[in-house]
Structure 1
Amino acid sequence: MFVTARPVRAALGAACALVMAAGCSSSDDSAPDGGLISVTTMRGAFLQPAEIGPAWAAPQESADPQQMVSFCGGTSTPPQAPPGAELISSSASDEGEKGAQTLQQTALVFADAASAEAGQLLLRTVADQCAKSSEVPATVTADRNEPAYTETLEVRDLNEGAWNGFVIIRNKLYEAAHPGTAETAVAVLRTRNVVLVDTYAIYRLDNASPSAGFEADWKRLVGSVVQRVN
């Protein structure tokens, strides 16, 4: 999010939300159970800030831990977590004077593969209903001052080894008077009883050009997580 009246750190508060709600079906037992992936395994697969880069750290601000990340962007409401999943997450950010990067890793751990498949299908339905383009007017409130912007969205199929699903790519371009961009990739991948929602975003201030490394960066980060799960 690009906000002119506050520092970058405050501007990214909403974007750096952690999703740490407790579900109702999966246990924290790390022992294998019929090929199921445990909560402990997924916690261990998440990238830690120091593993991403020297400037990365845990964010100082977080939003509602019960809330999923936004799929459709703009002024849309984030989707509800699919029923029957235990949610665990980890978040990191790299913030500077001219922009920032954020990574939100969320795992939905289900009791079985069929439940995970159904949960991913619900999330795909949400993604397919997102508007492909939206124009959002400037927003001015007591704690937020965001210029007008246009955001485009694309949904692609995605496969990473044994993980299959889709990725939502959003590109936000702010009005010329307040140049800036925000590029976001929300990867939703499933294997066995787990759905991984891995969200990478890069924000550029005073620069209307897209990030040249965005595509390679989100693919590298997603791949690093899924390769850790046997």
Structure 2
Amino acid sequence: MFRTGRVAVTALCALGLAAGCSSDDGEKPDTSNISITTMRGALLQAADVGPTWRAPEESADPDQLVSICGGTTAAPEVPPGGQVVASPLVDEGDKGAQTLEQIALVYADKASADAAMTGLKAIADQCQGNLSVAAVENDERNEPAYTETVQQQPLKQDNWAGFTVIRHKKYEASHPGSADTAVTVIQRTNVVLVDAYAIYQLNNASTGSQFDADWQKLVGTVVQRVG
């Protein structure tokens, strides 16, 4: 069985802003640097997403991002030179769980952010499209065997541009369940935003109908808050 603590799936009810793709209205993009204070205020807090969301009890490693490619691949280290602002959130209950990792990497200039973005894109370009992972059971982790599909797609919202890696994990038949993850990495001038939304479902092997809309809304809301 899954060892995920309490698990439950709830709607993303509190976000009032739609994601929306950027449109070319003829205006020149804003090329000014974004401050760390602005990014700290833009990242979503639990109350922004829904009443059952909260900050996780355990703190993440501040020197690591989230796994981009899934499977057994390690999470990449934070590209050097930037200041890190993070706001992780979880929603757990009886039928599933949701997690949201928001990490803003704020650099002194665009050139440094470009280098960080290039490194993260290189990692994504090496992701395998189909993975098969054996079951793991130990003191730290208990997870059934699963297969996972991984796809990368470009993403542009307002003056931000980058990519999203979409992963769908399906567990073996004796432990029915699934996990859908969207890892978005986008940049605007001196900031690289890493946003990872995941939804885990027990006894359900299909992708949730609102998954695509939800991850886009979560990313889009942060982007619009920056202005």
What is the aligned partner in structure 2 of residue 114 from structure 1? Answer: 111
Q: 1:66, CA displacement in angstroms?
A: 2.0
Distance in 1 separating the partners of 2:129 and 2:101: 23
Q: 1:5, CA displacement in angstroms?
A: 4.6
- Structure 2 residue 126 is the aligned partner of structure 1 residue 129: yes
Return closer, same or farther for 1:5/1:214 CA change in 2, 3 Å cut-off: closer
The one-letter code matched in structure 2 to 1:100 is A
What is the aligned partner in structure 2 of residue 41 from structure 1? Answer: 38
Distance in 1 separating the partners of 2:168 and 2:135: 17
What is the aligned partner in structure 2 of residue 30 from structure 1? Answer: none
The one-letter code matched in structure 2 to 1:7 is G
CA RMSD across the alignment: 1.4
Three-state SS of the structure 2 residue aligned to 1:228 is helix
Three-state SS of the structure 1 residue aligned to 2:79 is coil
What is the aligned partner in structure 1 of residue 68 from structure 2? Answer: 71
What is the aligned partner in structure 1 of residue 144 from structure 2? Answer: 147
TM-score by length of 2: 0.86
Distance in 2 separating the partners of 1:178 and 1:60: 27
What is the aligned partner in structure 2 of residue 84 from structure 1? Answer: 81
Report the number of matched residues. 204
- Structure 2 residue 134 is the aligned partner of structure 1 residue 102: no
Equivalent in 186, 189, 195 of residue 192 of structure 1: 189
Range with bigger deviation, 78-87 or 42-51: 78-87
What is the aligned partner in structure 1 of residue 2 from structure 2? Answer: 4
Distance in 1 separating the partners of 2:64 and 2:186: 19
TM-score by length of 1: 0.85
8 Å CA contact 2:5–2:92 kept in 1: the answer is: no
- Structure 2 residue 212 is the aligned partner of structure 1 residue 215: yes
Deviations 1:54-102 (A, max 9, x none): 1111112233232111011111111122221111100111111000111
Share of identical aligned residues, percent?
55
Deviations 1:31-59 (A, max 9, x none): xxx82111111000011101101111111
The one-letter code matched in structure 1 to 2:96 is G
